[in-house]
Structure 1
Amino acid sequence: MKRSLMVIGIGAGNPDYVTVQAIKAMNRVSVFFIPNKGTKKTELLRLRRDICERFIENSDYRLVEFDIPERSKYGRYKQNVELWREEVRRIYEKLLTESLAEDEIGAFLVWGDPSLYDGTLSILDTIGSSGTFDLDFEVIPGISSVQALAANHKVPLNRIGESLTIMTARQLSEAFPIDQGNVVVMLDGQGAFRSLDGDINIHWGAYIGTEDEILVSGKVRDVRDDIERIRNSARNEHGWVMDTYLLSKDPKTGGE
């Protein structure tokens, strides 16, 4: 079986972040596979639908919704991720078999950029190498929450002549590589920044790019309680919170 797919980065939440390349790609697609992540994240489902309605010129495309299983938060992290991806792989294979014909192009609309903390590409690689499908897919980059965070705070991501580290909160809790330059933290469900040296600067943002966007900046020691209060309030209001933040030792970072 031959199947053609596009993995399209649609940006960090603002429809204006959708690139011209992404719009052109969307207008080639016959079937969009739209994940349903439960009642707490129906807003993400709605935003995907709104983006399709706003940018697709014809009306002969289809939206196929599918449920995404929750990943276990207990036990070993990597093992849980591998088991979760295996479940999703089976769902993707079923979608490609039952909802996409050989003469059609399917698409997954990925928040931010498909290359950054998203499992879609790895899962499709596994499907392609399994021999189940003759799978051909194209990747369209998008504006990530990392880029949008820096733009909305009006700061560069890197210091002059230094590297930029992007990590998860789980990694941050193990070690903070501040001597290597600035650090961007994603996927922080527990507020790992609270344990940091209070002299570190933080540029924090939640729901970046959306109408609910919240931005806070300052020394960690001065704003961590405010951020924690805001995060808890936002989670109670929306049922979920998605945040990203930039950490730096220097009050003013310089780019090059």
Structure 2
Amino acid sequence: MADRAADLAITLRVIGIGPGGPRQITLEAVDAIAATDVFFLLDKGSRVAQLTDARQDLLDRYARAGHRVVTVVDPPRDRNPDDYRAEVLRWHTARVDALEAAIGEHLRDGGSGAFLVWGDPALYDSTLRLTGQLAARIGPGLTVEVIPGVTSPSALTAAHGIVAHDVGEPVLITTGRRLAETPPGADRNQIVMLDSHLAFTETAAPDDQVYWGANLGTPEQVLISGRVGDVADEITRVRVELRERTGWVMDVYLLRRAR
């Protein structure tokens, strides 16, 4: 079926759906969902079933009658590899293989498919890399459309009612894995994503300020802010409790160095 995809004229939409709240979705995304025939969901197992339910809620609200949902089993991934980049590239290739087969099987000539992406597709998400590989394989018959979404950093600062920086200051967006590598002078305002280990608890000074948020825009949203020395233990505890209660945590934080 994968070979058949190369013979199709199809549209793939990569639709940003925001950090989790069904109202944190743009009108452009609503229109894109309503225009799509088939939605491809990568199944990551029962641990994140609530995330799948949240996507389904958006489809129930905005997708047109007769749309279809195709679940593709997400290939396994080593979360602690010796070579992180090589493992991610291998995993992406396995994903593309599975998605190409699904497209060939489920999309008709002239049809459209979509991926619903948390937050914004351009910020710490791999879907556009996957569609880039799909485009290289399928060829000119594939058109990729990208619809931006509300990012978790913007949802975080809005939820806390703060500006991400002082007047004229820069903001660095990084990951927990790279937080310790931030050079002096670039670390005044850091928005940190993909940090399941809460790296700031080891790298930040007690007087630094942290603004943390988890499961933003959902009924399980949690916000904590304050001096690192005062709230780090609370954030660590609440994160564990939230994961145990809901089965998932998507969190982000702003770390502001003390002057």
Is the contact made by 1:3 and 1:96 (CA closer than 8 Å) also made in structure 2?
Answer: no
Q: Shift of residue 193 of structure 1?
A: 1.1
TM-score (norm 2): 0.92
2:121 corresponds to 1:114: yes
Gaps of 5+ in 2: 1-6
1:127 corresponding residue in structure 2: 134
Alignment of 1:174-189 (within 5 A): 174-175=181-182, 177=184, 179-189=186-196
Q: Which amino acid aligns with 2:119?
A: G
2:15 corresponding residue in structure 1: 8
Equivalent of 2:248 in 216, 224, 240: 240
Q: 2: distance between equivalents of 1:176 and 1:244?
A: 20
2:67 corresponding residue in structure 1: 61
Equivalent of 2:40 in 33, 46, 50: 33
Is the contact made by 1:11 and 1:17 (CA closer than 8 Å) also made in structure 2?
Answer: yes
Against the structure 1 CA distance between its residues 178 and 82, is the aligned structure 2 distance closer, same or farther, given a 3 Å change threshold? same
Equivalent of 1:72 in 47, 56, 78: 78
Deviations 1:61-92 (A, max 9, x none): 11111111232122111111111101111111
Q: Shift of residue 162 of structure 1?
A: 1.7
| SS of aligned partner of 1:15 | coil
Q: 2: distance between equivalents of 1:42 and 1:177?
A: 41
Aligned length: 250
Equivalent of 2:236 in 219, 224, 228: 228
Q: 2: distance between equivalents of 1:87 and 1:69?
A: 6
1:42 corresponding residue in structure 2: 49
Is the contact made by 1:10 and 1:22 (CA closer than 8 Å) also made in structure 2?
Answer: yes
Q: 2: distance between equivalents of 1:106 and 1:112?
A: 19
Q: 1: distance between equivalents of 2:71 and 2:166?
A: 43
TM-score (norm 1): 0.93
Q: Shift of residue 179 of structure 1?
A: 4.1
Against the structure 1 CA distance between its residues 235 and 178, is the aligned structure 2 distance closer, same or farther, given a 3 Å change threshold? farther
Alignment of 1:195-206 (within 5 A): 195=202, 196-206=204-214
Deviations 1:233-252 (A, max 9, x none): 1122223321100011259x
Q: Shift of residue 133 of structure 1?
A: 6.5
Q: Which amino acid aligns with 1:59?
A: A
Q: Shift of residue 178 of structure 1?
A: 5.4
Gaps of 5+ in 1: 252-256
Q: Which amino acid aligns with 1:66?
A: V
Equivalent of 1:140 in 139, 147, 169: 147
Q: Which amino acid aligns with 1:71?
A: R
2:98 corresponds to 1:98: no
